[in-house]
Amino acid sequence: MTAFSLVYTLHVLSALVWVGGMFFAWMVLRPAAMKALEGPGRLKLWVEVFQGFFRWVWVAVVLLPISGVGMIHLQFAGFEMAPRYVQVMMGLYLVMTALFIRIQALLLPQLRTAVTAQDWPAGAAVLGKIRRLVGINLIVGLVLVAIAAARPMF
């Protein structure tokens, strides 16, 4: 295995964990939870899901720029030689990371507080905000993956 293939594999797996996890949560887990659980149970489930999933997202948040910069230096001999699509991917990564940090640092504590206090209306309101931001992040992530796959030359 070459150095590039190792770095590339870490990069792809990190993106897969993050974007794939959001896709699963949005498209599969959320509808199932809506059908199977009442409000309080659903809110408790999401607190646990976010805690577990966010540990893996942090791994991706750390590995993606490390592996990305590694690939840039291995394949393009520096940032100046990298194609524009790589720069776009870096910008979208920053957007995704900012949205993720907003969810984890600001909204997840509010959700935990509401669930602990059994304030179900407040918890539902916070979960709605989280759901919208995760939806936006999922769209950004899917666009990023499409750009990575297509490698457009703009």
Residue 154: what pLDDT?
82
Neighbours of 54 (CB within 10 A): 16
Q: Which of 56, 48, 44, 49 is nearest to 19 (CA)?
A: 56
Mean pLDDT over residues 123-144, rounded?
A: 98
pLDDT digits (tens, 9 = 90+) for 112-121: 999 999 999 9
Residue 139: what pLDDT?
98
Residue 78: what pLDDT?
87
* Rounded distance between C-alpha atoms, residue 144 and residue 141, angstroms: 5
**Considering only 41-55, 70-84, 113-127, 129-143, which range has the smallest mean pLDDT?**
70-84
pLDDT of 5 above 90: yes
pLDDT digits (tens, 9 = 90+) for 8-63: 999 999 999 999 999 999 999 999 999 999 999 999 999 999 999 999 999 999 99
pLDDT tier for residue 77 given thresholds of 50, 70 and 90: confident
Of 100 and 154, more confident: 100
* Rounded distance between C-alpha atoms, residue 97 and residue 62, angstroms: 10
pTM: predicted TM-score of the whole model, two decimal places: 0.95
Q: Which of 24, 140, 154, 18 is nearest to 90 (CA)?
A: 140
pLDDT digits (tens, 9 = 90+) for 84-106: 999 999 999 999 999 999 999 99
- List the structure tokens of 140: 């950004």
